[in-house]
Amino acid sequence: MKALLVRAILAAVAAVAFSPASAQNNTTALPPYVPAYEPRTVDERGQWMEADEDERTLRDSPLVIRDEALNAYVKRVLCSTVGQDRCQGVRIYIVEVPALNASMRPNGAMVVWTGLLLRVRSEAELGAVLGHEFAHFELRHTLNAFKRARSTTDVLAWLSVLGGISNTDTSMNRLLLIGSFYRFSRDQEKEADLLSLKYLAASSYPTIAASQIWQHMMEEADATAAGRKQKSHHRYSAGFFDDHPTDLNRAVYLAEAASKAKGGNDPATAGYQAGIAKFLPLFLADQIKLNDFGGTEYLLGQLASAAGWTGDLLFARAEMYRMRGNPRDLVSAAQFYSDAIKAGYTAPEARRGLGLSLMRSGQVTEAKSALTEYLRLRPDASDAKAIAALLAY
Amino acid sequence: MLRWMCSGLAAVALLFAVPAIAQEKTGNKPGFSLRPGTVHIILMRPTIKVGAQSTGGMFEPNADWTAQARQNIAQALNEAQTSMGNQVTTYEEGESGEGPVASQYAHLFGALADSVIEYQFFRGNRLPTKVRKGTFDWSIGSGVTNLKSLAGADYALFINTYDAYGSTGRKALQIVGLLGGIPVTSGVHWGHAGLIDLKTGELVWLNADRQMGGDVRTPEGAQKRVRELLEGFPGRPTQPAVQASK
């Protein structure tokens, strides 16, 4: 009896743990992006219902950037990547979060974080990420992951009960199952990466952009670690609980795939810079608040190497140095504020930063003239009283 | 994507948990009372979620059941409104554009109700600030007083329900567990109903139960659920059924 139970347990574990990611992918005939698609199965309808509810909340969120031009631009890059027939039904929500991420709901709602827009360097790189998210949608990955999680926890529950009754140690089997779920998740991510590369190959963008994102991410991680006096590691194999392949792994297999299908020639770097120009100051302001000196210096340097040290970049750099606030940082900050003003940065906040940096460096006369100028340009500033008090001192 | 896995794992971990017993279900702000026919209460759009509970304990959302429950509960609430002792009207966003904020408040109320259950109704877990006898000090914040679409009303009635019906697999697991002496729970049925004072944002009455009756997928079950949700509703005439039959 006990032997039978144990055998049943092992068979169930094997059935769930070793079924591949793509085998569960034929729930319905039509792809979900066809116009007015209606989900078919009970599970898919349930997932769409929850996604619809989430999307309503998301739509009304104060963090969503509603600027028409920016939204239209990101949508255009998506359409250029995956094709007009696929992209039409997708709703894109640009959310003000300063980290590199994007996600896709099973019902075709796409979330793009502003940190992604700050980090990618061309339309091709943005398209690679948007294409990856779209691939999750086209391949019904949320639904499949839900089913996989359910079958995994079903077997886990039976293992707990049957193992308890038969007094059998099932801990290794349970560990195997949990590990298999994360491996499944990594397989889906790789599948989406490779489908995104196929979209890129058929577009005007070069496919190598998909690999470059991960190279840049590793460089930024190195810079962040160096800024925090930490060691940086890049592993090739994923950890047990990793739900995505490692950055290094992605960079390698995407470069390999890109060498076989090159795609177009134009990554549209200049077009990308123009597309997000209006929002660059906001993205930078959010980024410097992360208190990631090394990583932000790296990002600013990259942006400057593409477009030169513009007023926006100089101002952001000045603010970051002033925030760190070592005596030497204040000297650098004052210099960057002055450079920003020289480079044509017109917002009065540059005078404010310049004045405060100089004040703390002991250059009171110059500081007061900069702060007076700030108050003249922005008399209704929220900190006007505090600045006036500083001037009177 | 991993939240189901986490909730599933948590559910498996809780497989053997003993259900909480002797827990309080209703709270009233001390000194709060309503006389019938004196105030205007607005009934907010209920948040309703219905699905199944998988063998491993995960929530499986079900669109059909949720749609049925939404209709049945709305119907049952309509019928109940007449016997609640005060003027009760359903929330209308009107031209205020406050629908999204109102739905955020509905979710905030849900979080508040969960906190009350966790830290006041459950004696073993009561917070030091909530232990004094006769204390019922909870609020969703005074911001709700600024909502134009709620102007002129005295109280808002919030209702949340969450149902996960035990699947066949879950029931089988329960039976096998029973044979082996391992307790497995099947089905989750939560409901909250609460009254918020629109002049302060304070919670003045809460009825919260994590083992509610009534199958919300049927009209009769939804009526039973609404009856249980509104049990002890303040300001209700003492014996409306008897008076009506005379």
pLDDT at B4: 52
Claim to verify: residue A109 and residue A22 sit in the same structural domain: yes
Q: Nearest Cα to A9, choosing from A151, A172, A155?
A: A155
Check which CATH number belongs to the domain holding A343 and give it. 1.25.40.10
Q: How far apart are CA A98 and CA A105, in angstroms?
A: 20
For residue A293, is it within any domain? no
For residue A142, is it within any domain? yes
Kindly determine whether residue A156 and residue B12, on different chains, have CB atoms separated by under 8 Å. yes
pLDDT of residue A138 exceeding 60? yes
Q: Nearest Cα to B139, choosing from B178, B196, B74, B177?
A: B196
Mean pLDDT of A179-208: 96
A contacts of B103 (beta carbons < 8 Å)? 56-57, 60
With a CB cutoff of 8 Å and minimum separation 6, the contacts of A174 are A156, A159, A160
A contacts of B63 (beta carbons < 8 Å)? 39, 42, 45-46, 48-49
Q: CB of A384 within 8 A of CB of A351? A: no
Residue of chain A whose alpha carbon sits nearest to that of B101: A60
Claim to verify: residue A173 and residue A57 sit in the same structural domain: yes
Claim to verify: residue A245 and residue A313 sit in the same structural domain: no
Range of the domain at A197: 2-151+168-269
pLDDT at A117: 98
Claim to verify: residue A102 and residue A238 sit in the same structural domain: yes
Please, how many CA atoms are within 13 Å of residue A79, restricted to the half-sphere of its CB? 13
Mean pLDDT of A106-121: 97
Residue of chain A whose alpha carbon sits nearest to that of B59: A150
Share above pLDDT 70 across residues of chain A, in percent, rounded to a whole number? 93
Angle separating helix axes A171-201 and A247-260, nearest 10 degrees: 40
For residue A112, is it within any domain? yes
Kindly determine whether residue A162 and residue B61, on different chains, have CB atoms separated by under 8 Å. no
Q: CB of A115 within 8 A of CB of A101? A: yes
Question: Residue A97: left (phi > 0), alpha (psi -120 to 50), or beta?
Answer: beta
Q: Domain residues of chain B, as ranges?
A: 37-229
Kindly determine whether residue B56 and residue A155, on different chains, have CB atoms separated by under 8 Å. yes
Please name the member of B61, B64, B181 whose beta carbon is closest to the beta carbon of A47. Answer: B61
Mean pLDDT of A125-132: 97
Claim to verify: residue A141 and residue A246 sit in the same structural domain: yes
- Residue A69 contacts B where some CB pair is shorter than 8 Å: no
How close is the nearest chain B Cα to the Cα of A259, in Å? 31
Q: CB of B34 within 8 A of CB of B65? A: no
Please name the member of B9, B64, B181 whose beta carbon is closest to the beta carbon of A153. Answer: B9
Q: CB of A203 within 8 A of CB of A264? A: yes
Kindly determine whether residue B177 and residue A161, on different chains, have CB atoms separated by under 8 Å. yes
Please name the member of B12, B51, B58 whose beta carbon is closest to the beta carbon of A160. Answer: B12
Claim to verify: residue A341 and residue A252 sit in the same structural domain: no
pLDDT at A393: 74
Residue that wins the pLDDT comparison between B50 and A18? B50
pLDDT of residue A373 exceeding 90? yes
Mean pLDDT of A231-260: 93
Which residue has tokens 């006769």? B134
Residue of chain A whose alpha carbon sits nearest to that of B169: A154
pLDDT of residue A35 exceeding 80? yes
- Summarised one tens digit per residue, pLDDT across range B198-229 is 999 999 999 988 888 889 999 999 999 999 99
Q: Which of B124-128, B151-155, B182-186 has the lowest mean pLDDT?
A: B124-128
B contacts of A178 (beta carbons < 8 Å)? 9
Q: Which amino acid is at B117?
A: I
Please name the member of B56, B62, B181 whose beta carbon is closest to the beta carbon of A157. Answer: B56
pLDDT at B232: 82
pLDDT at A6: 62
Q: Nearest Cα to A72, choosing from A54, A90, A98, A47?
A: A90
Distances (CA, A) of A286 to A338, B119, B220: 22, 36, 53
| Number of domains into which chain A is organized | 2
Interface test with B, best of A154, A171, A173, A188 (most B CBs within 10 A): A154
pLDDT at B181: 86
Residue of chain A whose alpha carbon sits nearest to that of B61: A46
- B-contacting residues of A 135-154, CB under 8 Å? 141-142, 145-146, 149-150, 152-154
For residue A223, is it within any domain? yes
pLDDT of residue A85 exceeding 60? yes
| Tokens encoding A293 | 């000196």
Distances (CA, A) of B23 to B1, B139, B223: 34, 21, 24
For residue A297, is it within any domain? no
Q: Are strands B188-197 and B203-209 parallel, antiparallel or unpaired?
A: antiparallel
Q: How far apart are CA B77 and CA B50, in angstroms?
A: 17
Claim to verify: residue A6 and residue A105 sit in the same structural domain: yes
Give the number of beta-carbon pairs within 8 Å between A and B: 100
Claim to verify: residue A126 and residue A185 sit in the same structural domain: yes
Phi/psi of residue B207, each to 5°? -120, 115
Please name the member of B5, B16, B179 whose beta carbon is closest to the beta carbon of A149. Answer: B5
pLDDT of residue B196 exceeding 80? yes
Claim to verify: residue A109 and residue A227 sit in the same structural domain: yes
User: What confidence tier does A18 reach under pLDDT thresholds 50, 70, 90?
Assistant: low
Claim to verify: residue A232 and residue A314 sit in the same structural domain: no
Mean pLDDT of A238-251: 93
For residue A161, is it within any domain? no
**Helix or strand holding residue B7 (H, E):** helix B3-13
Claim to verify: residue A119 and residue A210 sit in the same structural domain: yes
Residue of chain B whose alpha carbon sits nearest to that of A160: B12
Q: CB of B190 within 8 A of CB of B113? A: no
For residue A156, is it within any domain? no
Claim to verify: residue A321 and residue A262 sit in the same structural domain: no
Q: Is this complex scored with an ipTM above 0.90?
A: no
Residue that wins the pLDDT comparison between A24 and A133? A133
For residue A284, is it within any domain? no
**Coil, helix or strand at residue B171:** helix
Helix (H), strand (E), coil (C) string for chain A: CHHHHHHHHHHHHHHHHCCCCHHHCCCCCCCCCCCCCCCCCHHHHHHHHHHHHHHHHHHCCCCECCCHHHHHHHHHHHHHHHCHHHHCCCEEEEECCCCCCEEECCCCEEEEEHHHHHHCCCHHHHHHHHHHHHHHHHCCHHHHHHHHHHHHHHHHHHHHHHHHHHCCCCHHHHHHHHHHHHHHHHHHHHHHHHHHHHHHHCCCCECCHHHHHHHHHHHHHHHHHHHCCCCCCCCCCCCCCCCCCCHHHHHHHHHHHHHHCCECCCCCHHHHHHHHHHHHHHHHHHHHCCCCHHHHHHHHHHHHHHHCCCHHHHHHHHHHHHHHCCHHHHHHHHHHHHHHHHCCCCCCHHHHHHHHHHHHCCCHHHHHHHHHHHHHHCCCCCCHHHHHHHHHC
Q: Within 10 Å of residue B33's Cβ, how many Cβ atoms?
A: 10
Kindly determine whether residue B1 and residue A56, on different chains, have CB atoms separated by under 8 Å. no
Phi/psi of residue A209, each to 5°? -55, -35
Q: Nearest Cα to A124, choosing from A2, A3, A208?
A: A208
Give me the sign of the Cα torsion angle B145, B150, B151, B153. Answer: negative
User: What confidence tier does A19 reach under pLDDT thresholds 50, 70, 90?
Assistant: low
- Residue A164 contacts B where some CB pair is shorter than 8 Å: yes
Interface test with B, best of A107, A147, A153 (most B CBs within 10 A): A153
Q: CB of A229 within 8 A of CB of A289? A: no
Interface test with A, best of B6, B12, B48, B173 (most A CBs within 10 A): B12
Q: Nearest Cα to B180, choosing from B16, B14, B54, B19?
A: B16
Cα torsion A42, A45, A51, A52 to 10°: value is -140
**Helix or strand holding residue B190 (H, E):** strand B188-197
Kindly determine whether residue A152 and residue B5, on different chains, have CB atoms separated by under 8 Å. yes
